[in-house]
Amino acid sequence: MEERIGVFVCHCGTNIAGTVDVKRVAEELAGYPGVAHSTDYTYMCSDPGQNLVKEAIKEHDLTGVIVAACSPTLHEATFRRAGTAAGMNPYQVEISNIREQCSWVHQGDKEAATEKAIRTIKVMIEKARLDEALEPISVPMTPRALVVGGGIAGIQAALDIANSGHEVVLVEKDASIGGHMAQLSETFPTLDCSQCIMTPKMVEVAQHPRVKLMTYSEVDDVSGFVGNFKVKIRKKASYVNRDVCTGCGLCSEKCPAKAPSEFDEGLAERPVIYTPFPQAVPNKPVLDAEHCTYFLKDGKCGVCAKVCPLDCIDYEQKDEIVEEEVGAIVVATGYDLYPIENMGEYGGGKYPDVVTSLQFERMLSASGPTGGEVRRPSDNEVPKEVVFLTCCGSRDPESHLPYCSKVCCMYLTKHAMLYKHNAHEGQAYVFYMDVRTGGKGYEEFYTRAAEEDDVLYIRGKVSKIFEEDGKVMVWGVDTLSGKKIEIAADMAVLGLATVPNKAAGELANMLKLHQNEWGFLSEAHPKLRPVESLAPGFYIAGAAQGPKDIPESVAQASGAASKVASLFAETEYHREPIIACIDEDTCAGCKVCVSVCPYDAAEFDEKDKVARIKEAICEGCGACIAACPSGSASQKNLTDEQLYKMVSAALEV
Amino acid sequence: MKIPYYPGCTLHERARDFDDSAKACASALGVELEELPIWTCCGAVYPLVTDSVMDVLAGVRNLSYASRIGDKVVTLCSFCYNVLKRSNNVMRVDLDKREKANLFLRADTAAREKVESYTLEDYEGQVEVLHYIEMLRDVVGYDKLAEAVSKKLDGLKVAPYYGCMLLRPKKEMNFDDPEQPTIFEEFLEAIGCDVVDFPMKTECCGGFQVVNDEELAVSCSQNVVVSALKRDADVIVTTCPLCRYNLDRHQEKMAERISGFTKVPVVYFTQLLGLALGLGKEHLDFTDNTVDPMPVLAEKSLI
């Protein structure tokens, strides 16, 4: 078929025309083989510019279009749409970059820049002459979402997706949803009771007709691809028939054995058959077999089974694998605190009156181990002087973590205030490097602490904490006065760094989700795509992506939910067709392509003894094409023939 | 088995008791500490200047001597250990300094006259610098050590004092956790002592400041000794002659200043090790100690 390529050379104001003689370029290319129309224009991306393309396609019956302008990352989509509007296949519209790769880098040399621009465009003309009309690949879309993690971010994402009309499976590894926010006493800067604002959402998500809530469960395996994931979820054995259980609580009440309470951060004990906290959703207990007398001592005890009025206890219960089909996965697995064992300078966890921030939070909580009173763990006395330390592990590249954990300045301010509200005569000290108060109302909150609650802020780091004579000795410095400070305090609270949840790391590895060196999930673009992963179909929200506070976690969750809703808006998912394909006539069945593909997109058909590309998964990376020994693998619209012709045009050979 | 041994200046002079007990214990454990045929002062303090190679030459030359007779060198004094290990690191990673240092080493004709085997080979950091206690843990093994103990030091409450030089700077020394080290505690448990953990075990004794500002050294040492005393230590062990001097010598002043102060003897860990291995009183030379350890050892029926 006769090639009739249209060439449109953009001036881009003076960005290109200032260095490249655009008129001469358009004139010289008019005579190039295959070119039926060649022109130049000031701003091709403008509406009139785009109309030039559309009109020329119709008037000159063009078979291909080259727009010589800026980088394709900017306007390839724009001109493909213009081409489509005029009836041309979008994959026959090409961009030739004569700005970033020509005019912008050769600004002193007009002659050379013009010659280079001409050659650059010739390269793309050669490509366009052999371009085929391609259709986007459609795959069916299962409009159901999986949300991994039942903290505030996971709950919000599940609610938003469900409210947009799609089913959600919400998986949480603990016995109840709520995450760390459920452990908090009050939240900054409003000092709202954390449970009070969270439990309505917890109940809403549990009762939502489109949400399938699976607690005490973990994701075991994910296969498939965007729109078509197959997920295996392991419902861990709770030894309780949670469907029949009414949550009466008799089993927990009568259970004689105890274990350290995870929810109370080890400050108290809980029964072995337990619900983690009174407002748990679902309010159904689980049995912790690792500490259970029945399991450890061969069937001794069994009290819970005896007292249960509905016969819900089942010691024979096994883990159950549930399979779900979903189209999108939101990962909202949250955070943990940097282990106190790593802070040897502050005792490494061996001093009872040096506590973690979450432990202090549990003390402040009315339903916590001390009934909402601040007490020294060693002797249960009310502490008269409490030292709060920011940056325990954060902002310390030499010994610990280099990054800022964002929320500690605020929550330690909150802790200091609440301690003062608790113990009016007490003295609170906060050792800080900077007080970071970037959110709305945050600076005012900090001012309130310093001015109304007499919290003493000391600018300096604490070098050592040890216990002496029943006191917590804190060695610090006040850099503003240049003096060393020693405080014989009653208690110290460590603002430990935020790290990604440990269990989440294993999940991310299984899903092959990219993480940064500290284990936080990587977003697709640090500025413009904060809630998506680069892997299609995976979205991220909350502290799993990086340290953040509750409003940001909720915002990200809603953002991820909206991305999922847009994905589900089409019944089919469309993929770019510029992928690999295999010539089955020449394929020798060596399977090299199968072994090199990083996406598992190449599969070998045992019956036909040839390899095939799974169009729904192939990302067009080119690994199989390079590896194929028989040259049977090639890329759509970037064949070897096209490449040879493009290189020849570039080198003028 | 033989291991090259670098005693350092002090171990041949003021701290002969340390050197003697260390050699005797090693021998009892089947290790012959082969003192380097020639050696010089290591320089005492690792230099703070980084743009010159002259300051590390002393340490490097000793390491180069050690490399002619073995692939490890054991030392006891914390300061020597610090200087040798950090100088060794420089030779391993700084190629420019390595080249310059080797030019000096090649010119060391005096050494070759004394020891024929000192040929013109470059030193590249191939020797491993070991502290004696690392040798006990890694070459002998604490479990073998425990088996060799004939007299468990039951009832003796020992506070292990690390001081600064063994542990810091963390990345270069790579000796133990600088905040909560345990290598000495494990050693003491192996020889049957009751270990006293005290928070000042990694704080400075005053070090060389005693020359310039004795009061400062007294106050630093007091901090350490009082902390151990509060936790009922019978004895403090150390591995540094300067630490022993400071912690021991200034107790006279501490006794004047603090009512109810009880003196705590400060000994070298190898002296306690000798007792545990049944080497008897002959290797316990406490003539240099201001606070005599004999009474407390006798009280616990250990001598």
Would you give the DSSP letter of residue A382?
P
Mutate to test the interface with B, among A341, A400, A466 (most CBs of B within 10 A): A466
Average pLDDT value for residue range A367-386:
96
Please tell me the predicted confidence (pLDDT) of residue A2.
83
As a whole-number percent, the residues of chain B with pLDDT over 90 amount to 78
Residue A22 has pLDDT above 70, yes or no: yes
Helix (H), strand (E) counts: chain A: 17, 34
Please tell me the predicted confidence (pLDDT) of residue A505.
84
Mutate to test the interface with B, among A399, A465, A468 (most CBs of B within 10 A): A468
Average pLDDT value for residue range B139-148:
92
Average pLDDT value for residue range B57-65:
92
The alpha-carbon gap from A345 to the nearest alpha carbon of chain B, in Å, equals 5
The alpha-carbon gap from A431 to the nearest alpha carbon of chain B, in Å, equals 20
Q: Around Cβ A162, how many Cβ atoms within 10 Å?
A: 22
CA dihedral of B37, B40, B46, B48, whole degrees rounded to 10: -140
CB contact under 8 A, B230 and A469: yes
What are the structure tokens assigned to A91, written together? Answer: 């994959």
Q: For residue A183, which phi and psi values (nearest 5 degrees)?
A: -80, -20
Which of A300-304, A440-444, A540-544 is predicted with the least confidence, judged by mean pLDDT?
Answer: A300-304
B199 CB near a chain A CB, below 8 Å? yes
What are the structure tokens assigned to A139, written together? Answer: 């795959």
Average pLDDT value for residue range B208-219:
94
Mean pLDDT over the full length of chain A = 95
Helix axes B95-106, B57-69, angle to 10 degrees: 70
**Contact between A341 and A400 (Cβ < 8 Å):** no
What are the structure tokens assigned to B226, written together? Answer: 């009082």
Please tell me the predicted confidence (pLDDT) of residue B120.
62
CA dihedral of B257, B262, B266, B270, whole degrees rounded to 10: -170
Please tell me the predicted confidence (pLDDT) of residue A365.
95
Residue B192 has pLDDT above 80, yes or no: yes
Please tell me the predicted confidence (pLDDT) of residue B191.
92
Tell which B residues from 201 to 240 touch A, by Cβ distance under 8 Å.
Answer: 227, 230
What are the structure tokens assigned to A493, written together? Answer: 């609270």
CB contact under 8 A, A399 and B170: yes
> Which residues of B fall within a CB distance of 8 Å from A467?
199
pLDDT digits (tens, 9 = 90+) for A154-206: 999 999 999 999 999 999 999 999 999 999 999 999 999 999 999 999 999 99
Compare all CA atoms of chain A with the CA of B229 and give the residue at the minimum distance: A468
The alpha-carbon gap from B199 to the nearest alpha carbon of chain A, in Å, equals 6
Distance in angstroms (rounded) separating the CA atoms of residues B287 and A425: 56
Per domain, the residue ranges of chain A are 5-136, 335-499, 579-635
**Amino acid sitting at position B178:** P
B2-130 folds as: Glutathione S-transferase Yfyf (Class Pi); Chain A, domain 2 (1.20.1050)
Q: Which CATH architecture has domain A5-136?
A: 3-Layer(aba) Sandwich (3.40)
A463 CB near a chain B CB, below 8 Å? no
> Which residues of A fall within a CB distance of 8 Å from B185?
none
Q: For residue B56, which phi and psi values (nearest 5 degrees)?
A: -95, 0
Would you give the DSSP letter of residue A291?
G
> Which residues of A fall within a CB distance of 8 Å from B180?
344, 348
Residue A653: band (very low, low, confident or very high) from pLDDT cuts 50, 70, 90: confident
**Contact between A539 and A531 (Cβ < 8 Å):** yes
Compare all CA atoms of chain B with the CA of A345 and give the residue at the minimum distance: B179
CATH number of A335-499: 3.50.50.60
The alpha-carbon gap from A351 to the nearest alpha carbon of chain B, in Å, equals 11
pLDDT digits (tens, 9 = 90+) for A360-372: 999 999 999 999 9
Compare all CA atoms of chain A with the CA of B177 and give the residue at the minimum distance: A344
**Amino acid sitting at position A113:** A
Which of A344, A469, A473 is closest, CB to CB, to B180?
A344
pLDDT digits (tens, 9 = 90+) for B23-58: 999 999 999 999 998 899 999 899 988 888 898 999
Cβ contacts of A585 within 8 Å, gap of 6 or more: none
Per domain, the residue ranges of chain B are 2-130, 149-299
Residue B119 has pLDDT above 70, yes or no: no
Average pLDDT value for residue range A68-78:
95
> Which residues of B fall within a CB distance of 8 Å from A468?
199, 227, 230
CB contact under 8 A, A345 and B199: no
CA dihedral of A367, A369, A374, A377, whole degrees rounded to 10: -170
The alpha-carbon gap from B200 to the nearest alpha carbon of chain A, in Å, equals 9
A469 CB near a chain B CB, below 8 Å? yes
Residue B117: band (very low, low, confident or very high) from pLDDT cuts 50, 70, 90: low
Tell which A residues from 356 to 415 touch B, by Cβ distance under 8 Å.
Answer: 399
Tell which A residues from 592 to 621 touch B, by Cβ distance under 8 Å.
Answer: none
- For chain B, the residue count is 303
Cβ contacts of A78 within 8 Å, gap of 6 or more: A45, A50
Residue B222 has pLDDT above 80, yes or no: yes
Residue B111 has pLDDT above 80, yes or no: no
Which of B177, B178, B199 is closest, CB to CB, to A466?
B199
The alpha-carbon gap from B179 to the nearest alpha carbon of chain A, in Å, equals 5
Q: What is the DSSP string of A113-145?
A: HHHHHHHHHHHHHHHHHHPPP---EEEE---EE
CB contact under 8 A, B180 and A348: yes
Distance in angstroms (rounded) separating the CA atoms of residues A59 and A128: 19
Compare all CA atoms of chain A with the CA of B203 and give the residue at the minimum distance: A464
Residue B80 has pLDDT above 70, yes or no: yes
Distance in angstroms (rounded) separating the CA atoms of residues A543 and A520: 8
Please tell me the predicted confidence (pLDDT) of residue A1.
65
Q: For residue A326, which phi and psi values (nearest 5 degrees)?
A: -135, 165
CB contact under 8 A, B230 and A345: no
**Contact between B197 and B162 (Cβ < 8 Å):** no
Distance in angstroms (rounded) separating the CA atoms of residues B73 and B86: 14
CB contact under 8 A, A344 and B199: no
Compare all CA atoms of chain B with the CA of A346 and give the residue at the minimum distance: B179
Please tell me the predicted confidence (pLDDT) of residue A307.
95
Please tell me the predicted confidence (pLDDT) of residue A616.
83
Distance in angstroms (rounded) separating the CA atoms of residues A516 and A502: 14
Cβ-Cβ contacts under 8 Å between A and B: the total is 18
Please tell me the predicted confidence (pLDDT) of residue A463.
95
Instruction: Say what the pTM is.
Output: 0.86
Mean pLDDT over the full length of chain B = 92
Tell which B residues from 276 to 295 touch A, by Cβ distance under 8 Å.
Answer: none
> Which residues of A fall within a CB distance of 8 Å from B227?
468
Distance in angstroms (rounded) separating the CA atoms of residues A7 and A123: 12
Q: Which CATH architecture has domain A579-635?
A: 2-Layer Sandwich (3.30)
Q: Please give the class, per CATH, of domain B149-299.
A: alpha beta
CB contact under 8 A, B179 and A345: yes
